[in-house]
Amino acid sequence: MTDETARPAATQDRVFIFDTTLRDGEQSPGATMSHSEKLEIAGMLDEMGVDIIEAGFPIASQGDFEAVRDIAKLSRNAAICGLSRANFKDIDRCWEAVREARHPRIHTFIGTSPLHRAIPNLDQDQMAERIHETVTHARNLCPDVQWSPMDATRTEWDYLKRVVEIAIKAGATTINIPDTVGYTAPAESAELIRRLIAEVDGAPDVIFATHCHNDLGMATANSLAAVAGGARQIECTINGLGERAGNTALEEVVMALKVRGDIMPWKTGIDTTKIMNISRRVATVSGFPVQFNKAIVGKNAFAHESGIHQDGMLKNAETFEIMRPSDVGLKDTSLVLGKHSGRAALRSKLSELGYALEDNQLSDVFVRFKALADRKKEVFEDDLHALMRDQSAASEDRISLASLQVVCGTQAPRTAEMTLVIDGAQKQIKAEGDGPVDAAFNALKALVSHDAQLQLYQVHAVTEGTDAQATVTVRLEEKGRIVTGQSADTDTVVASARAYISALNRLLVKRGTSAEDTDRKTVNYHDAG
């Protein structure tokens, strides 16, 4: 089902954006997304102009396979890529998942550094032979094959050159050079790409890509340096999501190229006005909130408190802003609706913020909006984003909060009386704790049997004022399974309970696929970058 005429042509001034939020990003502990969430994010990536979407690791589990397959079927513009290790079984499964995409791609990899060669216990010649066989097999199935020497930046130069040449001769169309552990630096990153292009036989016939991790905080700089060295594909994720310190952030490299086109004369096909909306959505479905001072998409990225800065902004915004908020999809005004607003106004504003709702969905949101407007004097855009959080997944939840009453203060005991709906049946309990949140969590532990340990409990105010909604993030770990939940409410205790319940719902999903989860851990040990 390929349609090569629709693909953008490779030119010296064009940089392809390869997004791996749904694969490498989802490997962040606790960031697992549901099937519907993956399809939603893939649709948003496709709409914003991402060139290649790495939709998942099809061999990892049946769930991963189905997500990649369904994304491939639904994609309109982007190439859809699946990841596979260097063996025929992985590659065949990957091809089965992506083959119905308009532009399918197989991405196969193997670790080439001395440390990674020791894992499968292959010497250099044996690994070279495997690379030749597996890339050839992938190319016989798919016309678009990407190959990665994992941990390339710690691979001996002579051997890296040798295996890259082998992959090109075997039919690879894109050669990705991963900085798997965030080890390299900008000058080294640029020189490595430059040298490969200059010295590898067949280099002019392929696209070189860069995939950088942020362990030393240089992922964006290393990726842009690689482009300066000749790479024409950047692998990245929304919000820099990814294992350990994360990956190169899509929004950072795209906006750097847009703002500094004077010294980096390369273009992407990204509609930057869609950045903020997808950033917020990825933060919601992954459970990983964006830090306030995060470049481009952080809450403070366009905020000014210093008197000198405010004075300069009033006179000329360009004195302290190198890009406009509207460039990334932020509106100039934040105050939106109130308790007297109707359905039409709410639908219009949510549409402006990027939410397209059916009538039944709007009815549910409208009830919750009215309840919020009755509790708050002013409803801001950020309040609406918080209101929409977990809206798509709510119908799939097995556990929901029916009621919660807490008693707290300087005198013990602090208690929580809670009613949950679990698989359609109501259950009630009263529990004590060191405080109202602890009492609520103890009630949840008593009503929903689990051995999960609380790894993270984090509270942020959505807007200003004592009536602001609190966004609470909860991360749980049970027998190696890590899940994250989020919720927002003007009552911090209620938000905390719902965030914990959100995490428990995700934990129940993972328990239901425990065999697949165990297999996925084994697969993920051999990462692609």
Does residue 221 share a domain with residue 172? Answer: yes
pLDDT of residue 317: 55
pLDDT per residue as tens digits for the range 402-437: 999 999 988 878 999 999 999 889 999 999 999 999
Residue 524: pLDDT above 90?
Answer: no
**Which 3 state secondary structure label does DSSP give 253?**
helix
- pLDDT per residue over 443-487, tens digit each? 999 999 888 999 999 898 877 777 788 889 899 999 888 888 888
Size (the chain), residues = 529
Question: Which is more confidently placed, 9 or 96?
Answer: 96
Q: Which residue in the block uniquely carries the two structure tokens 């905080």?
A: 217
Is pLDDT larger for residue 394 or for residue 501? 501
Q: Is 247 annotated as a binding residue?
A: yes
* 87 and 53 together in one domain: yes
- 361 in a domain, yes or no? no
DSSP states of 296-327 = TTSTTTT---SHHHHHHHHH-GGGT-SS-GGG
Is the model's pTM score more than 0.95?
no
pLDDT at res. 214: 97
In a domain, 260, yes or no: yes
Last residue of a domain, one of 313, 328, 343: 328
Q: Higher pLDDT residue, 354 or 190?
A: 190
* Alpha helices (runs of H) in 353-450, residue ranges in sequence order: 359-375, 381-388, 436-447
Residues 247 and 229 in one domain: yes
Residue 332: predicted pLDDT: 56
pLDDT band with cut points at 50, 70 and 90 for residue 308: very low
Q: How far apart are CA 341 and CA 354, in angstroms?
A: 19
Within 8 A by CB and 6+ apart from 5, the residues are: none
In this structure, the answer to whether residues 428 and 485 fall within a common structural domain is: yes
pLDDT band per the 50, 70, 90 thresholds, residue 303: low
The answer to whether residue 382 sits within a structural domain is no
Confirm or deny that 211 is annotated as ligand binding.
Answer: yes
pLDDT at 314: 44
The pLDDT score that the predictor gives to residue 9 is 58
- Residue 322: domain span: 302-328
Give percent above pLDDT 90 in the chain: 60
**What digits encode the pLDDT tens for the residues 54-80?**
999 999 999 999 999 999 999 999 999
Which of 373, 380, 346 lies closest to 362 in space, CA to CA? Answer: 346
| Helix residue ranges per DSSP H, 99-211 | 114-117, 124-141, 157-170, 186-199
- Predicted pLDDT at 523: 40
Letter for the amino acid at 399? I
446 within domain boundaries: yes
DSSP for residue 215: T
Q: Considering its fold, how many domains does the chain have in total?
A: 3
Tell me what the mean pLDDT of segment 176-198 comes to: 98
Q: CA nearest 277: which of 228, 243, 322, 328? A: 328
Domain match, 324 and 217 both: no
Boundary (domain end) residue, out of 294, 310, 341: 294
Count of other CB atoms within 10 angstroms of residue 349: 17
- The confidence score (pLDDT) of residue 309 equals 40
179 has pLDDT over 70: yes
Q: Which one-letter DSSP state was computed for residue 397?
A: -
Query: Percent of the chain at pLDDT above 70?
Result: 88
User: Phi/psi zone of residue 87: left (φ > 0), alpha (ψ -120 to 50 degrees), beta?
Assistant: beta
pLDDT band at residue 318 using 50, 70 and 90 as cut-offs? low
The residue type at 48: M
What average pLDDT does this structure show over 226-248? 97
Is residue 384 included in any domain, yes or no? no
Lookup: tokens for 515: 């065999």
The residue among 324 and 194 whose pLDDT is bigger is: 194
Query: Is position 46 annotated in a ligand binding site?
Result: no
Please report the pLDDT score of residue 227 as a whole number.
Answer: 98
Domain boundary among 278, 294, 310: 294
Q: Strands 470-478 and 453-461, how do they pair?
A: antiparallel
Q: Assess whether the previous peptide bond of 289 is cis (omega < 30° from 0).
A: no
Residue 27 lies in a domain: yes
Is residue 527 a contact partner of residue 520, using CB atoms and an 8 Å limit? no
| pLDDT of 202 strictly over 90 | yes
Is the predicted pLDDT of residue 4 greater than 60, yes or no? no
Which has the higher per-residue pLDDT, 379 or 307?
379
- Quick check: is 430 in a domain? yes
Same domain, 209 and 321: no
Whether 363 has a pLDDT exceeding 90, the answer reads no
Q: Are 145 and 207 in a shared domain? A: yes
Q: Look at residue 307 and tell me whether its pLDDT is greater than 50.
A: no
Q: Is the same domain home to 125 and 234?
A: yes
Cα–Cα distances in angstroms (integers) from residue 193 to residues 10, 190, 209, 374, 431, in the given order:
17, 5, 9, 58, 60
Distance CA 105, CA 19 (A): 13
Note whether 308 and 240 are same-domain residues: no
Determine whether the annotation assigns residue 316 to a binding site. Answer: no
Q: Is 280 found in the same domain as 215?
A: yes
Kindly state whether residue 391 falls inside one of the protein's structural domains: no
pLDDT of residue 383: 76
List 79's β-bridge partners, or say none.
Answer: 52
Query: How far apart are the C-alpha atoms of 234 and 14, rounded to whole Å?
Result: 11
Dihedral sign computed on CA atoms, order 386, 390, 391, 392? positive
CATH code of residue 437: 3.30.160.270
Residue 128 shares a structural domain with residue 256: yes
Per-range mean pLDDT, top range of 25-39, 148-162, 500-514: 148-162
What tens digit of pLDDT does each residue of 207-232 get?
999 999 999 999 999 999 999 999 99
CATH number, residue 178: 3.20.20.70
Residues 6+ apart with CB under 8 A from 308: none
The structure tokens listed for 341 are 């607003």
Q: Phi and psi (nearest 5°) for 203?
A: -55, -40
Q: For residue 299, is pLDDT > 90?
A: no
Whether 220 and 310 share a structural domain: no
Most confident of 122-136, 391-405, 501-515: 122-136
